[in-house]
Structure 1
């Protein structure tokens, strides 16, 4: 017996299978991601002046940003890297940049960017490398960046930033070199809590133990020195016996 579905009777088309629906969903999802990311990158292009034409391939009619220069995508066709350093670019970073939630590396250093570092960059929860150094950025460092737990490299040096440097979250990893040459930035004050009596006693015991260990090591070395000297003297005597050649 041949079974015919309702869709085949009414439309003449076979009923879609589960596998075909999954494939269709994946295609639509990838297209949605590409459209959203291309819109974000076009917003970035619109906010910046580009004397070196580095954005020439960023064309709104081509909705696949993975084919654009200075952009790298992963296997899922999501933008993960943007490299736009040293291109004399001017303008302001748009807030839409925070929509590139799969971004791993963002390099905009050695340009002439102005304006502030926007809070929306804190939405980039996969970001590992953020280099905005050697620009003309102003304002404060957004506290939202402290929530980017993946951040490993941060360079904001040689700008005109001001205010306090965050001291929580990801900022615990970075040294003053990440912020140098920002005269109006305030370096964080590190306050050490006083030791409790138990900690003080433990510290005292540790110091006593270290001193005792040092004395013991010194004594051992003192007694071992003659033996080491004797072995060395015997070796020299053997070398002289085998290798001295009369003149």
Structure 2
């Protein structure tokens, strides 16, 4: 029994730095991809094994990153796919910055995520259908960006979603009304001039050209 316990402890000690390095590398990839005029990321030192010592980063008892608080941080630049490696991340708060480019599809791998707040940026491109894999997601706020394309129908499978806001974008097509989307009002989708309104009985209406980009 003592041998087994010792083995478990040794494995834990070996894996902990590996996880910390992976998550530190992922966060540092974000630092490299953004401009930080306020130096809010100054403590993000890649030579430190443990990113849990960095400001605006919260970790659990296993030294795994669970929260990233960078709202109103005056950051500009782009999101990075490496963020999808933060396996225990629960809160991704990057609202009210000047982030541009697409939302990485890799964010769909954040299985622990409960809140994704990317509102008030300048993000472009479609809403990734991969976000439908976030089974624990409760808050999805993507409003006030420049997102385009259809609202992915797979998002209606988000059984725990409580708040959805994709208003003030350039989305097109129709609004899903099935599954978890049945409880959301038009306020969640307002000010998308190319949205045609709610789907009727789950059918998707296409424009004359059959396109929506």
The answer as to 2:188 corresponding to 1:181 is: no
Which among 88, 91, 109 is matched to residue 123 of structure 1? Answer: 109
Cα distance, 1:170 vs. partner? 1.5
- The 5-angstrom pairing of residues 28-47 of structure 1 reads 28-47=14-33
Q: Sort the Cα spacing of 1:28 and 1:46 in 2 relative to 1 into closer, same or farther, 3 A.
A: same
Q: Sort the Cα spacing of 1:28 and 1:116 in 2 relative to 1 into closer, same or farther, 3 A.
A: same
Q: Which is strand-richer, 1 or 2?
A: 2
2-side partners of 1:173 and 1:19: how far apart? Answer: 40
Return the structure number with greater relative CO, CA threshold 8 A, min gap 6: 2
The aligned residue for residue 24 of structure 1 is 10
Alignment deviations for residues 116-141 of structure 1 (CA, whole Å, 9 cap, x no partner): 00110000011000000000000000
The aligned residue for residue 105 of structure 1 is 91
Q: Name structure 1 gaps, 5 residues minimum.
A: 1-15, 194-247
Question: SS where residue 158 of structure 2 aligns?
Answer: helix
The answer as to 2:78 corresponding to 1:92 is: yes
2-side partners of 1:18 and 1:172: how far apart? Answer: 39
Which among 35, 56, 59 is matched to residue 70 of structure 1? Answer: 56
Alignment deviations for residues 143-165 of structure 1 (CA, whole Å, 9 cap, x no partner): 00011111100100000001111
Which among 160, 170, 174 is matched to residue 158 of structure 2? Answer: 170
Q: Name structure 2 gaps, 5 residues minimum.
A: 176-197, 203-213
- On the 8 A contact 1:161/1:185 being kept in 2, the answer is no
Alignment deviations for residues 65-122 of structure 1 (CA, whole Å, 9 cap, x no partner): 1111000001111000000010110001011111111100000000000000011000
2-side partners of 1:120 and 1:185: how far apart? Answer: 23
Q: Sort the Cα spacing of 1:33 and 1:173 in 2 relative to 1 into closer, same or farther, 3 A.
A: closer
RMSD: 1.9
Cα distance, 1:22 vs. partner? 2.1
The answer as to 2:200 corresponding to 1:191 is: yes
2-side partners of 1:82 and 1:173: how far apart? Answer: 20
Alignment deviations for residues 25-56 of structure 1 (CA, whole Å, 9 cap, x no partner): 11111111111101111111111110110111
Which has the higher Rg, Structure 1 or Structure 2?
1
- On the 8 A contact 2:136/2:160 being kept in 1, the answer is no
Q: Which is helix-richer, 1 or 2?
A: 1
2-side partners of 1:172 and 1:124: how far apart? Answer: 15
The answer as to 2:125 corresponding to 1:133 is: no
Question: SS where residue 63 of structure 2 aligns?
Answer: coil
